[in-house]
Amino acid sequence: MVVASDKFKGTLTSAEVADAVGLGVRRVHPEATVVAVPVADGGDGTLAAAVAAGSTFVPVVASGPTLEAVRTGYARRGDTAVVELADVSGLVRLPGGVPAPLSATSYGTGEVIAAAVDAGCRHIVLGIGGSAATDGGRGLVQALASGNNVALRGGNVPENDVPLAALRRRLDGVRVVVACDVDNPLTGPRGAAAVYGPQKGADPQQVAALDAALTEWAEAVARATDRDLRDTPGAGAAGGVGFAALALLDAELRPGIELVLEMVGFREQIADADLIITGEGALDDQTLHGKAVAGVAAAAGGIPVVAVCGVNRLKPDQLQASGIEAAYALTDVEPDVERCIAEPRPLLEQLGERIAADHLTMTARQRGIA
């Protein structure tokens, strides 16, 4: 049996989910082999999934979204580095959780990429979910082009300067692949500011100001590169980091869960599995569009898949259509949501017991060994 769950955001990591579920399974079937394969969709948890899959964590001190120093890093295997934007420039890195919609920057993510490139990495996998900034990737670009010149943080370079030559020197021979699960353009009513700005604390006036700034940035990049990619699907990802990656890093955008499953060797991990347990904090409509649970089910190759979650908002037919046989929610065991959030581990263990009784016993009987 393989447990390939995403994190339960704010409560348990992917590895902790697998540990709790596995403990419950083994209470019912002590002989069961439970293999933990932590996964993520390209947002927070991607770095942890890479390390769990065998990459080495390389610590880096970089600039947070409001330019305070944060301890972060990248995961390295050979000449491949996995960088998680959320861990350095994400909402979780805002001091005190206070939004900074107009000033938050992706600069620190550029610093981490620069550190990996300078250390000899030639393949960068960049997960861009969870950004705190709507800067069009300008901060990231400045950090990469500057060689970590902290003077740039003080505004010594014009806001829309496009350091194309410096970027090309830094990234010569480097391939960048971006985990991206949205198809928004950079600007306009479906753009980075309009759709995601309010989630980062922007009011209507600030959304308009951010969209105008992104438009100016897009025009500057178009002049520098002789191509305008602002309307490319995914350009609006992570506050416009998707745009900078496409237009200035010559990056390839790919679904986050696909990248992570390749990174962790998912197909090899499930080769002998009788059952796959996946999961995330909430199963809802977003689950069906590029999230880890749907991605795991799609990659299961005919192996039965069940899901664990905090709360399940999907109907049985929606689960079945996505390849999930059944969903087990913490709220099935404990209706008090606050307790589910405060004490999820023992509840997950109970769900592991239920799954073992419902599915592993059935599998054993089908094989004539129980």
Q: Find the DSSP H helices in the chain.
A: 14-28, 46-52, 86-89, 107-118, 138-146, 164-170, 204-225, 241-248, 256-263, 266-269, 292-298, 316-321, 330-333, 337-342, 344-355, 361-366
Residue-wise DSSP of 33-90: --EE----SSSTTHHHHHHHTTPEEEEEEEE-TTS-EEEEEEEEETTEEEEETHHHHB
- Each residue's pLDDT tens digit, 196-206: 999 999 999 99
Sign, Cα dihedral of 147, 153, 154, 159: positive
Reported as a single tens digit per residue, the pLDDT across 126-146 is 999 899 999 999 999 999 998
How far from 14 is each of 1, 40, 210, CA to CA, in Å?
Answer: 16, 8, 34
Beta strand 69-77 with 80-84: parallel, antiparallel or unpaired?
antiparallel
- What confidence score (pLDDT) does residue 41 get? 87
Q: Which amino acid is at 116?
A: A
Q: What is the pLDDT of residue 290?
A: 75
Report the b/e string of 109-126 with b at 16+ CB within 10 A. bbbbbbbbbeeebeebbb
Per the structure block, which two tokens stand in for 161? Answer: 């300067």
Cβ count within 10 A of residue 96: 4
Residue 45 near residue 226 (C-beta atoms within 8 A)? no
Average pLDDT value over all residues in the chain:
92
The CA distances from residue 52 to 44, 117, 121, 134, 265, in Å, are 14, 22, 19, 30, 11
Pick the CATH number of 2-39+270-366 from 3.40.50.300, 1.10.3760.10, 3.40.50.10350, 3.30.420.240: 3.40.50.10350
Buried (b) or exposed (e) across 177-201, using 16+ Cβ within 10 A? bbbbbbbbbbbbeebbbbbbbeebb
Which residue ranges make up each domain of the chain? Answer: 2-39+270-366, 46-257
* Residues 17, 15: Cα–Cα separation, whole Å: 5
Contact 8, 338 (CB under 8 A): no
Give the confidence band of 361 by pLDDT, cuts at 50, 70, 90. Answer: low
φ, ψ of residue 73 to 5 degrees: the values are 165, -170
Predicted local distance difference test score (pLDDT) of residue 155: 37
DSSP assignment, residue 265?
Answer: T
Report the CATH fold assignment for 46-257.
Glycerate kinase, domain 2 (3.90.1510)
Mean of the pLDDT values across residues 114-121?
Answer: 97
Query: Comparing 2-39+270-366 with 46-257, is the CATH topology the same?
Result: no
- Give the span between the Cα atoms of 174 and 186, in whole angstroms: 24
Instruction: Write down the pLDDT at residue 264.
Output: 92
Binning pLDDT at 50, 70 and 90, where does residue 369 land? very low
